[in-house]
Amino acid sequence: MRLEVGNILIKEIQFGDRTEVKEGVLFINREELAKVTGEDDRIASVDVYLAKPGEEIRIIPVKDVIEPRIKVSGKGGVFPGLISKVDTVGEGRTHVLKGVAVVTTGRIVGFQEGLIDMAGPGAEYTPFSKTMNVVLKVEPVEGLHQHEHERVVRLAGLRAAEYLGRAGQHVEPDHVEVYETKPLLEQVKEYPDLPKVVYVYMLQTQGLLHNSYVYGVDARQIIPTFIYPTEVMDGAVVSGNCVSACDKNPTYIHQNNPVIQDLYERHGKDLNFIGCVITNENVTLSDKERSSNMTAKLVEFLGADGVIISEEGFGNPDTDLVMNCYKIEEKGIKTVLITDEYAGRDGASQSLADSTEKGDAVVSTGNANEIIKLPPMKTVIGYPEVADIIAGGTEGSLGEDGSITAELQIIIGSTNELGYGLLTAKGR
């Protein structure tokens, strides 16, 4: 599959009479966006805000972050199976409003949600303090079940992103990037002397508001399967989970998966990027065994010399990570793992809930248990009181002055396990 990604660089966002892009500025018809977002009888109200880098704004709790994109040519549309039909995506051309993000908030859905600070020390830990955010406060009707509440807000955010993305449909991009993965035999023959690398892409699927969607299907119901990397860029994978904010992959990060982009950057130079195997993170032992068996079998079938495995979440999914690592290594295929750590506030505890001696190449994206104090913000969009109950916070985390003292896991993307974050490390 060959996908052209046309990046339209947005320098400013403003409310205006029409939703359109002019000279690098995204103008947004506020009322029209609210109407499109709220096209669901289960939504009581939608409020639209703008939050820009450097402004003293806190968004809490955050449900999802989505990048506005639109298909210009090729099959299907954005977010297939949810917003568009289920045509296979990943080819043709897609236009992106680069620098803009749709952020959904409102009453809390699940306890593992988080926050985005647009300024102050918290802004240094989230990539979404650097985007110009169109914030949607979506309030459901009374009495809505938790799972239905999650679905309502998820679809509302996707509708909004598709609506804004349409503003770039007829705009000439500032630059176009081309990504291509050929059918397996062609791909292998193209670079026969380079090591063949497969990316094992673990998706959060533990249930109880810990779900991801592939072409609209709850990934908990799938068995591991091959997917072209360009399909991911076109919105085939969507977040629907309320896993801890620090290592959750919002839809935006799926769309901009840095592992996929880095592998494409090195493709044809020092490796041959064969493609992705998507797999789930299960709860029962038999399900974990089944998925890890199938993942290892697929990787072997593809003829991989090396595999990169990324995780989403922590604790229970650590076992899926370790099983995938062990079974792939047992086939003589080298692995590299990407994960964050829950090593205690002092960093002295065991980092993962499971381990294997074969997991001897691991990239850490940070310790989510570290404590941070966030100063009060002039403006809060959402409900600051949830700081006391969401993962990373405790009773008393929210100070009387509006400050928050909590673990890093309270911040969206602070220890993201795809490496889409701002933390770095250096040797002593």
pLDDT tens by residue, the chain, 428 residues: 999 999 999 999 999 999 999 999 999 999 999 999 999 999 999 999 999 999 999 999 999 999 999 999 999 999 999 999 999 999 999 999 999 999 999 998 877 789 999 999 999 999 999 999 999 999 999 999 988 999 999 999 999 999 999 999 999 999 999 999 999 999 999 999 999 999 999 999 888 788 999 999 999 999 999 999 999 999 999 998 877 899 999 999 999 999 999 999 999 999 999 999 999 999 999 999 999 999 999 999 999 999 999 999 888 888 999 999 999 999 999 999 999 888 888 888 888 878 888 989 999 899 989 999 999 999 999 999 999 999 899 999 999 999 999 999 999 999 999 999 888 877 66
Strand, helix or coil at 309? strand
What Å distances lie between residue 251 and 135, 147, 240, 381, CA to CA? 15, 18, 8, 20
For residues 343 and 352, give the distance between their C-alpha atoms in angstroms, rounded to a whole number: 8
pLDDT of residue 380: 97
pTM of the entire structure? 0.95
Report if residue 358 sits inside a domain.
yes
Q: Is residue 327 part of a domain?
A: yes
CA 333 to CA 327: how far, in whole Å? Answer: 9
Catalytic residue among 242, 246, 276, 325: 242
Give me the pLDDT at residue 427, please: 65
DSSP state of 70: E
**How much is the pLDDT for 53?**
98
- Domain-embedded: residue 419: no
Please compute, for residue 122, the number of CA atoms within 13 A of its CA located in the half-sphere on the CB side.
Answer: 29
Task: Report how far residue 392's alpha carbon sits from residue 414's, in angstroms, rounded to the nearest whole number.
Answer: 12
Q: Do residues 237 and 213 touch, judged by C-beta distance below 8 A?
A: yes
Q: Is 415 a domain residue?
A: no
* Structure token digits, residue 31: 């009322």
CA dihedral 34, 215, 292, 197 (to 10 degrees): -100
Phi and psi for 299 in degrees, rounded to 5? -60, -45
Angle at 407 between CA 405 and CA 409, to 5 degrees: 130
pLDDT at 314: 85
Total structural domains in the chain? Answer: 1
354 CB contacts (<8 Å, ≥6 apart)? 318, 319, 321, 322
End-to-end Cα spacing for the chain = 44
pLDDT, position 155: 96
pLDDT given at position 421: 83
Look at residue 425 and tell me if it is in a domain. Answer: no
Is 276 one of the annotated active-site residues of the chain?
A: no
Residue 145 dihedral angles phi and psi, to the nearest 5°: -65, 150
Run of H or E residues at 285 = helix 285-301
The answer to whether position 421 is within a domain reads no
pLDDT for 113 equals: 87
Domain for residue 423, yes or no?
no
Ramachandran bin of 367, using left for φ above 0, alpha for ψ from -120 to 50, beta for the remaining angles: beta
Q: What are phi and psi of 59, to 5 degrees?
A: -110, 120
**Residue span of the structural domain in which 189 resides:** 2-410
DSSP 335-346: EEEEEEE---TT
pLDDT for res 243: 78
Give the per-residue pLDDT at 208. 78
Q: In this predicted structure, what is the pLDDT of residue 256?
A: 97
Pairing of strands 212-214, 237-239: antiparallel
Residue 360 lies in a domain: yes
Asked if 107 contacts 140 with a C-beta cutoff of 8 angstroms, the reply is yes
Residue 301 neighbours by CB distance under 10 Å: 11
Tokens (6 digits) for 411: 């911040």
| pLDDT at 349 (0 to 100) | 83
Which pair of tokens denotes residue 210? 């810990």
Q: How far apart are the C-alpha atoms of 121 and 409, rounded to whole Å?
A: 14
Angle at 78 between CA 75 and CA 422, to 5 degrees: 130
